[in-house]
Amino acid sequence: MPPVVHEIDPFADTIIILKSPCKNFAPWDDALTLSNTDFVEPEKEQLLRAQSPPVKMLSKKEKKARMRARASRDRTVLSFLADNGERAEPSNGGLTEEQGLVHDPEPTPSVDGGVENSIVGPAEPASEPTKLEDDEIHYLVSSRHLMLASPWFRRTLTREEFIEASKDPSDGLYHIPASDWDEEALLILLNVFHVRTRQVPTTVSLEMLAKIAVLVDYYELENAEVMERDIRVWIADVRRSVEFPSSYCRDLMLWICISRVFQMSVEFEKATAMAIKGSEGCIQTLDLPIHQKIISSIDRSRCNALEHVITELHRLLGVYRDFNYSCPSSSSYSFQCGAFLFGALMKYMERWGYLSPRPENPFIGISLNGVCNRSGMVGNLNWWHKNSHHNYYGGYEDRRLEPHSCNLDSKIDEVVENAEAKVKGLKLQDLLENSLVPFES
């Protein structure tokens, strides 16, 4: 199958070859996220954790190494074919319409962030299945535009030690390999580079903005002047049209990525605070450019908050267990009050898995939101005791039952609310200064 070719510059001197374009962007694994609303037995949590493989994120160096390995392999194959007298097809699929080049029409920016009719390629018979590893998208571009926009492209195209810095003898073009990027996101980015304003959408979805953020981070475009106007427009639209997530989920991780790359300090702090409260210790980076120190700071803050809650619950248990406990409402009922609260708290902590063995750092399977939801199930537990009412003759009579004023739910709520109040989202300025301490001890 001939590759799909996007002619961005009719006088192109460079071809970007996108192999294995992204088919499933930032996949979310539900098995790594337990419900924060329903109680899950500790044994089941451990089983689910054991079955969930860790999520690995490729670093920039790993991505570059993989791209260069693919480019080197392709050139080796072409050289081998040429040495053996076999016809080596140009890797760009040809530069004329007869050889497979399809000129992009003038697409119309779509409302949802897509570009209509921007991907055009020769029809393929339905009987011939396309293999993922054979998928290639070619972008015909200008090296000058690439180098002006991106330090990454400037290094790649000017350093002699890089094979991309030399034109390929088969077609006289610079060949730059790429892999795993989203086809449409890369097309939008390159259209911005080449000032093809009509082909650049004015609105994009949260998903597309995240895909663009991945490219902006990789190609070092955070300070690219050519990107400023479009990024401001996209961010303003997403802020206005996309509802911010209220729990730890895939969209929240997209927000963390976007707000970090585009320096959105308010959204970054809000999203990381949500992740601190909602994460259960297995934060999914989704192969997004989220720095490891961000993930470490989120998890450290989460663990500090949970340690505070668990410690306070055990301290409260010790207070009620003490034989010398004094009831704040009526000292005459200290023993009954302490016994009731001690027994109730012990039963709940045993049910939640917080009693024995006591949960320890890194608190896998426990989230602060989950603790809050479970504490809300306690309800208003009351016990009744006899009370005496004074009569006008100086005696006591009319002994009747009335509810005791001490209750467990208010005490647990106080512990949880104090922990929640101390949780702060990460600050971008702290990230730049390499100092992230979001939980106030």
Return the pLDDT at 61: 54
Q: Which segments of 263-358 are extended strands (E)?
A: none
Q: Which residue is associated with the tokens 């663990």?
A: 303
User: Which of 187, 180, 181, 183 has the alpha carbon at shortest distance from 109?
Assistant: 187
163 vs 259: CA distance, rounded Å: 34
Within a domain: 251: no
User: Are 197 and 304 in a shared domain?
Assistant: no
For Cα atoms 199, 204, 210, give the angle at the middle one, nearest 5 degrees: 115
pLDDT tens, per residue, the chain with 441 residues: 788 999 999 999 999 999 999 999 999 887 776 544 444 444 444 444 444 443 344 455 555 555 555 555 554 444 444 444 444 443 443 333 333 344 444 444 444 444 444 333 334 444 343 344 457 999 999 999 999 999 999 999 988 777 777 888 889 999 999 999 999 999 999 999 999 999 999 999 999 999 999 999 999 998 888 999 999 999 999 999 999 999 999 999 999 999 999 999 999 999 999 999 999 988 889 999 999 999 999 999 999 999 999 999 999 999 999 999 998 877 888 898 889 889 989 999 998 889 888 998 889 889 999 888 887 777 667 676 666 554 555 555 555 667 777 888 888 888 988 998 889 999 988 877 654 544 443
State how beta strands 173-179 and 14-19 pair.
Answer: parallel
User: Which of 319, 279, 230, 212 has the alpha carbon at shortest distance from 423?
Assistant: 279
Beta-carbon count within 10 A of 199 CB: 22
Task: Note the pTM of the prediction, 2 decimals.
Answer: 0.72
User: Are 8 and 156 in a shared domain?
Assistant: yes
3-state secondary structure of 191: helix
Say what angle helices 334-352 and 292-321 make with each other, to 10 degrees: 150
User: Are 195 and 300 in a shared domain?
Assistant: no
User: Are 10 and 146 in a shared domain?
Assistant: yes
Within a domain: 85: yes
- Do residues 4 and 103 lie in contact, with contact meaning Cβ atoms separated by under 8 Å? no
Return the pLDDT at 393: 52
User: Are 11 and 144 in a shared domain?
Assistant: yes
Residue after which a domain boundary falls, among 172, 202, 232: 202
Within a domain: 256: no
Quote the domain boundaries for residue 300: 296-432
- Do residues 316 and 411 lie in contact, with contact meaning Cβ atoms separated by under 8 Å? yes
Return the pLDDT at 162: 76
User: Which of 417, 410, 314 has the alpha carbon at shortest distance from 368?
Assistant: 417
Q: Which residue is associated with the tokens 């610079």?
A: 174
User: Are 10 and 149 in a shared domain?
Assistant: yes
Residue after which a domain boundary falls, among 167, 202, 237: 202
Query: What does the DSSP 8-state code read for residue 33?
Result: -
User: Are 179 and 324 in a shared domain?
Assistant: no
State how beta strands 396-403 and 384-390 pair.
Answer: antiparallel
For Cα atoms 360, 309, 428, give the angle at the middle one, nearest 5 degrees: 90
Within a domain: 20: yes
- Do residues 409 and 313 lie in contact, with contact meaning Cβ atoms separated by under 8 Å? no
Instruction: Report how many domains make up the chain.
Output: 2
User: Are 311 and 420 in a shared domain?
Assistant: yes
Within a domain: 438: no
Report the residue count for the chain: 441
Return the pLDDT at 401: 67
Return the pLDDT at 194: 96
Within a domain: 291: no
Q: Please, what's the b/e burial string for 71-98 (b: 16 or more CB within 10 A of its CB; e: otherwise)?
A: beebeeebeeeeeeeeeeebbbbbbeee
- For residues 254, 260, 263, 268, the Cα torsion angle rounded to the nearest 10 degrees is 70
Within a domain: 210: no
Beta-carbon count within 10 A of 137 CB: 22
361 vs 95: CA distance, rounded Å: 59
User: Are 198 and 301 in a shared domain?
Assistant: no
- Do residues 220 and 152 lie in contact, with contact meaning Cβ atoms separated by under 8 Å? yes
User: Are 21 and 161 in a shared domain?
Assistant: yes
Return the pLDDT at 130: 37
Q: Which residue is associated with the tokens 């539900």?
A: 30
For Cα atoms 195, 144, 193, give the angle at the middle one, nearest 5 degrees: 25
Residue after which a domain boundary falls, among 162, 177, 202: 202
324 vs 187: CA distance, rounded Å: 73
Chain Cα centroid distance, residue 343: 41
User: Are 331 and 182 in a shared domain?
Assistant: no
Within a domain: 99: yes
Reported as type and span, the H/E element at residue 386 is strand 384-390
Chain Cα centroid distance, residue 258: 9
User: Are 162 and 17 in a shared domain?
Assistant: yes
